[in-house]
Amino acid sequence: MNLPEALVSSVGWGLWAYWLIIALMMVGLYIVIARDNLIKKVMGLNIFQAAAILFYVTMAKVEGGTAPIVPAGADHAGGHGGHEIVYSNPLPHVLMLTAIVVGVATTALALALAVRIHGDYGTSEEDEAVVYDMEHG
C-alpha cells in the first residue's frame, strides 16, 4: 500500500470515534503545555484523561449489542425466546469507573496543590511563580 492509499484508508469513517478521541487528547495535552495558569492546566489534564476514558468506552461497544443485563427467563447460553442476544462488553466500563476515581483523586490533589501554591507565591500563574523564584531564591 502506498502512502496516500494508507492515509485514505486510515481516515476511513469507520474510525471516526478514534479521531475524535485523538483530537480531544491533543486539545487536553495542548492546554497542559501551553497554558501558564495552573487551574487551566488541571482542566487540560482532565480533558486528556476524559479522552482516554472515552477510548475504553468506545472499545466496549458491540455493534447491535444491548446493555449487558441478562433478561429474566434467558437460557444458559444467553439466548432469549429462541434467538441469541448480543451484549456490549461491560468490562471496560467497570475499568473506567476505577479510572474516573483515579481522575477525581488526581484533580482534587492538583487543586489542593494549586491552593498551596497560590498561598506561597500569591499567584496561580506558572510564569509569575518562576519569576518569583528567581527573585527570591
Partner 1 sequence: MIEKILVLEVVLPLLAAPVCVLVRHPRFCRLFSLGVIAACFAIAVALLVEVRGGGVISYQLGGWPPPLGIEYRVSTINAYLLALVTAMALVVFSFDSRGGPPRVPEQRRHLYYAVFLLCISGLLGIAITGDAFNIFVFLEISSLSSYILVSLGGHRRAVMSAFYYLVMGTIGGVFFMLGVGLLYQATGTLNLRDIAARLEPSLDDRGTVLALALLVVGISIKLAVFPLHHWLPNAYSFAPPKVSAFLAATATKVSFYLLAMVLFTIFGAPFVFEELRLQAVLLPLSILAMFLASGAAIFQTDLRRLLAYSSVAQIGYMTLGLSTANATGLAGGLVHLFNHAVMKGGLFLVVACLLYRVGSVHIDALAGIGRRMPLTSAALVIGGLSLIGVPGTVGFVSKWYLVSGVLERGWTAAAVLILLSSLLALVYVGKVVEVLYFRKPAETQPVDHVREAPLGMLAPAWVLAVAAVFFGLTTDWTYGVAREAAELLLAGGI
Q: Which residues bind partner 1 (CB under 8 A)?
A: 29, 32, 38, 41, 45, 48-49, 52, 55-56, 59, 91-92, 95, 98-99, 102, 105-106, 109-110, 113-114, 116-117, 120-121, 129, 133
Min CB(136)–partner 1 separation in Å: 8
Identify whether the C-beta of residue 29 lies closer than 8 Å to the C-beta of residue 46: no
* Of residues 11 and 102, the one with the C-beta less far from partner 1: 102
Distance of CA 73 to the CA centre of its chain: 37
Min CB(37)–partner 1 separation in Å: 12
Sign of CA dihedral 58, 60, 61, 66: negative
Distance of CA 111 to the CA centre of its chain: 19
Cα separation, 15 vs 102, whole angstroms: 28
Cell of residue 3, nine digits: 502512502
* Of residues 79 and 122, the one with the C-beta less far from partner 1: 122
Min CB(3)–partner 1 separation in Å: 14
Cell of residue 75, nine digits: 437460557
* Of residues 15 and 74, the one with the C-beta less far from partner 1: 15
